[in-house]
Structure 1
């Protein structure tokens, strides 16, 4: 029950972030809603496609779709106020990363996926919506050049798969994964951590 509630919170926050990007890009109401809803449920759809779940759960479960759409409507009407509470939105976004990563890994394990596949599928569920959002608005995905985003997702998903391998209680594995993934994501935002980039190549004077 708790995981389901957190999952809906994650969908709402991701959808809100996508809608804010759509507003910043000056899209119309339909465009903002499309980007927002896709961001909210996109990761879950990709996860289900990888697991062979057809049609994807988010397209069958009205709660997921309506939560994402509702978040977009709220953003459309109150986006100046939402921008003012950005720190709180980032906290919920970090929790969403942890919930999607661990929940995605758990679902993958329950469908017979191996440890590596479950870890990658869980991470994909956490970051997939953001990648789709950036592609829709013609931006290089933030995953590739800013923020420590994928690493916390992979770590959270890996904790669930390791917990499953050692027969740890699922509640403990899920809770630990969410805390570690969300905590690392928040710490990275606070400290401005990013992965190192390749050094710039400067032409040599001959």
Structure 2
């Protein structure tokens, strides 16, 4: 069975679009942190490419695609220029950026799971790498910016869970031999919808039962 049911050119441009949108979030964080243009480019590159680089190194797909296709490398640089000159306008369309980010999350969790499975990993490991592909860049971005990764913060709307849902559905479809262009896009759409619902209704993961934390509670509405 063809592990990549989409036309390769279509898949390539979907990847570029996802990288670009993720890179915008990295560049915007750099602006908020008062980084210079080099710092903006670094955070944009790390956010857009970090998850895919980690996945490719783990599965032995070397050199990673980011180093063999300059389009992957250039997309974050274009995002950096875009944010450098237009960041006030970009901030104002943050809700639209969140929608595109959710779409990138859905596409990347599915693509990461598929690629890991193609390289011989089991279903559980493939799901883990699907999650890493979708969320790894954001974790690296936050670490470099000296912030607690959003993935680990209770006051951020669900991010890992939608990626896990999409990656798990992809793995189950692979296991049943039912993965095709339609079902692949359905898995990506499921992750996309769960993420949008989390943003709309403020869904968050539960914290420890009967916790006694000394960490100061964030102000209401401070979630992503």
| TM-score interval (norm. to shorter) | over 0.9
The 5 Å alignment of 1:170-189 reads: 170-189=180-199
Contact 2:51-2:136 within 8 A present in 1 as well: yes
Cα separation, partners in 2 of 1:202 and 1:186, compared to 1, 3 Å: closer
Q: Which residue of 2 aligns with 1:168?
A: 178
Provide the residue aligned with 2:222 in structure 1: none
Runs of 4+ in 1 over 3 A off after TM superposition: none
Deviation at 1:3, TM superposition (A): 2.8
2:18 corresponds to 1:10: yes
Q: Extract unaligned runs of 5+ from structure 2.
A: 1-8, 215-224
CA deviation profile, 1:69-124 (whole Å, cap 9, x unmatched)? 11111111110011111111000000000011000011111111111111110110
- Where is the helix percentage greater, Structure 1 or Structure 2? 1
Shift of 1:202: 7.4
Change (3 A) 1:202 1:45: closer
How many residues are treated as equivalent by the alignment? 203
Question: Cα deviation per residue 1:138-159 (whole Å; 9 max; x = unaligned)?
Answer: 1000000122011110111111
Corresponding position of 2:217: none
Corresponding residue SS for 2:120: coil
Normalised TM-score (structure 2)? 0.87
Aligned-residue CA RMSD (Å) = 1.4
Select which of 30, 42, 49 maps to 2:50.
42
TM-score normalised to structure 1 length: 0.95
How far, CA to CA, are the matches of 2:87 and 2:135 in structure 1? 23
